[in-house]
A and B are shown apart, each in its own frame.
Chain A
Amino acid sequence: NAGVMQNPRHLVRRRGQEARLRCSPMKGHSHVYWYRQLPEEGLKFMVYLQKENIIDESGMPKERFSAEFPKEGPSILRIQQVVRGDSAAYFCASSSVIQEGYTFGSGTRLTVV
């Protein structure tokens, strides 16, 4: 039973390019969450999705960031026109119910040069 799979592990983008981060939840998990960890900071909630629905996007920056979790395929976090401040580790997690905690993926480290 594979865990939460994130790819790529490392992503380098030039300023102005687009970044696409993918996350496949654990089998049987229908809830997906994206978190961002900036250098020297904790994990910041970005968005919570279920299949084809965004449940809570209160942590998403208003511009350039979007997320989806289609009926088929992985969840995608998309960052358009990346800037240096977007450089961070982006973690995806999935869960069935909250009392079991989240299962996190290994993260995607985005570097904007």
Chain B
Amino acid sequence: DQQVKQNSPSLSVQEGRISILNCDYTNSMFDYFLWYKKYPAEGPTFLISISSIKDKNEDGRFTVFLNKSAKHLSLHIVPSQPGDSAVYFCAASVAGANNLFFGTGTRLTVIP
């Protein structure tokens, strides 16, 4: 039962343009959401997070938007750079719990 879904397995974007990665979830008890970035042969690295009390969190070129009513979040990267090419995982957790539920990932390719 996949509680966190990333329906786009891949995305290609031109350098300098905006990358938008989407994530949907089914569990209304999720209250904390995170994005991770993964390069080949490495472990995922934490990128940005958002609490359910917010609808937006920004960190440099990265912004995460949360729409609780739609159970949807998105990661915006602008401007996209070739070094952003990686697999991006969306993750969510329930209040009081420490384990994260991950999506299946979206492979982003930024074309120079």
Contacts and interface: CB of A to CB of B under 8 A. Distances in A.
Given A42-B89, A98-B32, A104 B43 contact: yes
Nearest to A93: B43
The interface residues of chain A, by DSSP majority, are classed as strand
Given A42-B103, A42-B104, A98-B93, A91 B44 contact: yes
Contacts of A41: 104
Contacts of B99: 33, 45, 48, 56
Contact of A45 (B41, B43, B100, B103): B100
A99 B57 CA distance: 14
B49 A42 contact: no
B43 A101 contact: no
Nearest to B44: A104
Given A99-B49, A102-B46, A105-B43, A42 B102 contact: yes
Contacts of A31: 98
Max count, chain A CB within 10 A of own CB: residue among B36, B99, B102: B99
Nearest to A10: B41
| Interface magnitude class on chain B | 20 to 34
A55 to B, nearest CB: 7
A29 B30 CA distance: 23
Interface of B: 2, 6, 32, 34, 36, 41-46, 49, 51, 89, 93, 97-105
22 contacts: A31-B98, A33-B98, A33-B99, A42-B6, A42-B89, A42-B102, A42-B103, A42-B104, A43-B44, A43-B102, A43-B105, A45-B101, A48-B99, A91-B43, A93-B43, A98-B97, A98-B100, A99-B49, A101-B49, A102-B44, A104-B36, A106-B41
Interface of A: 4, 6, 31, 33, 35, 41-45, 48, 55-56, 91, 93, 95, 98-107
